[in-house]
Homo-oligomer: A and B are copies of this chain.
Amino acid sequence: MTTRPHVVIIGAGFGGLSAAQALARAPADVTVVDRENHHLFQPLLYQVATAGLSAADIASPIRSILRRQKNTSVLLAEACAVDLANKRVVVDCGALAYDFLVLAAGATARYFDHPEWREWAPPMKSLDDAIEVRRRVLLAFESAERELDPARRRELLQFTVIGGGPTGVELAGAIAELARALARDFRHADPRTAQIHLLEAGPRILSMFDDDLAARGLEQLHELGVNVFTHAVVVEVDAHGVTLEGGGHIASATTIWTAGVEPAPITRTLGVTLEGGRVPVEHDLSIVGHPDAFAIGDVASFKPRVEDGAASKPLPGLAPVAIQEGRAVGKAILATIRGKPRAPFRYVDKGIMATIGRSRAIAQLERLHLSGFVAWLAWLVVHIVMLIGFRNRVVVLFTWAWSYLTYRRGARLITGLDHAPSGVPARPYTCEDALARA
């Protein structure tokens, strides 16, 4: 090892960023590689998808966050493969040799064996995803307003969210509230007649929460008029809706996928036997057999020790897990550089929360269970505090206050009408056709 070791961090999500920040004053050169130029505050992504916040409000340039860390450089590039044996990362524009590796590449949407469903049920993982969902949701209302056939108009006002986890619940609730916010803006199609369906394949939604809170969440969704289906296993998704196991069909023009994630594909290049797709790690978060390479966050399968009082199932893919793991890995690398032993990682569970809409939320903080307005206030404070950047905090807080008081949505922007990236055609009609008819 040279006097200044090189730490390569793949991914600037919650885990990668917290690892980088823990190495701020380390006697090491740090390179953060990410395929996007921004760190994304994923917990608020659904608000961009439903026109509550602007994209820039929940994204901060990675460079900007790390600009004071003189030992750290940021590379906008896609990490393609890790060569653990030779301590090298292949990136799209070349290769990086490392002394320490932090694999924090996160997760992508998982469509099981149906990649073709993505076209009609886009995912909700990146900012581009959220902008595409926003485009589709807002366009559905626009198309309904323009539609003369009542049956087709009804179909255009049906929205289906697949997946009853926090993202699906928050998104379904936010679409229901968006429909209300739009009420006065349309003349022909009434947004209040919109139907929002939430499909969960398992026996109940919000399965990571205790029964009582999940039931409160369900109640709050019902108050917003969301139709919740459990045991709803999707067997087909197309332009006209979703077909369920057993033959049920939900006719809906707009479908969104939040039903599953899987670790980033780079994990499959490690040559390590994965556990449920995730990389098995030691108690110091290093990859089994590779003490200088760590995996954290959604790509890692970390099982708390039984003596730490936890079950043997791996920690879930949550922001606090990634943040704490990133910090621990930063410390472990520092310890190793200084020739000291590493402390085993211990996760401190601070609880989980989900918001269902205006003044509605659930929060599970150890044995303290909150719901309704109090939980919503707690959710609000935690998310403002966690958000990166003073400007973003002020703008988000102001935008929330404004939306709360006016019942309006500030970012109802349809972009990319002329070059829709995929799927649902942005401009269903053309002038050529219209002029041929005329």
A interface residues, Cβ below 8 angstroms from B: 35-38, 54-57, 59, 61, 63-64, 67-68, 73-78, 80-81, 83, 90-95, 127-128, 131, 138-139, 142, 145-146, 182, 184-188, 390-392, 394-395, 398-399, 402, 408, 410-419, 421-422, 427-431, 433-435, 438
Chain copies in complex: 2
A76 touches B142 (CB 8 A): yes
Once the chains are docked, how many angstroms separate the CA of A75 from the CA of B144?
A: 11
B417 touches A35 (CB 8 A): yes
Chain A to chain B contacts (Cβ below 8 Å), 5 pairs: A38-B412, A73-B145, A93-B429, A128-B419, A392-B410
Min Cβ gap A183→B in Å is 9
Once the chains are docked, how many angstroms separate the CA of A184 from the CA of B61?
A: 13
Once the chains are docked, how many angstroms separate the CA of A163 from the CA of B164?
A: 53
Chain B residue numbers with a CB within 8 Å of A93 are 146, 428-429, 434
B429 touches A92 (CB 8 A): yes
A37 touches B431 (CB 8 A): no
Question: A73's closest neighbor in chain B, by CB?
Answer: B187
Min Cβ gap A21→B in Å is 16
B56 touches A411 (CB 8 A): yes
B408 touches A64 (CB 8 A): yes
B417 touches A36 (CB 8 A): yes
A438 touches B81 (CB 8 A): yes
Once the chains are docked, how many angstroms separate the CA of A421 from the CA of B128?
A: 13
A67 touches B184 (CB 8 A): yes
Once the chains are docked, how many angstroms separate the CA of A415 from the CA of B419?
A: 13
Q: Give 10 A-B pairs besides A77-B429, A391-B398, A394-B398 with Cβ atoms closer than 8 angstroms.
A: A56-B413, A63-B182, A64-B412, A67-B185, A83-B438, A92-B433, A128-B418, A391-B408, A395-B410, A416-B421
A138 touches B394 (CB 8 A): no
From B38, B67, B92, B421, contact of A427 by CB (8 A): B92
Once the chains are docked, how many angstroms separate the CA of A422 from the CA of B419?
A: 9
B421 touches A419 (CB 8 A): yes
Question: A182's closest neighbor in chain B, by CB?
Answer: B63
Question: A135's closest neighbor in chain B, by CB?
Answer: B37
Once the chains are docked, how many angstroms separate the CA of A416 from the CA of B438?
A: 36
A391 touches B410 (CB 8 A): yes
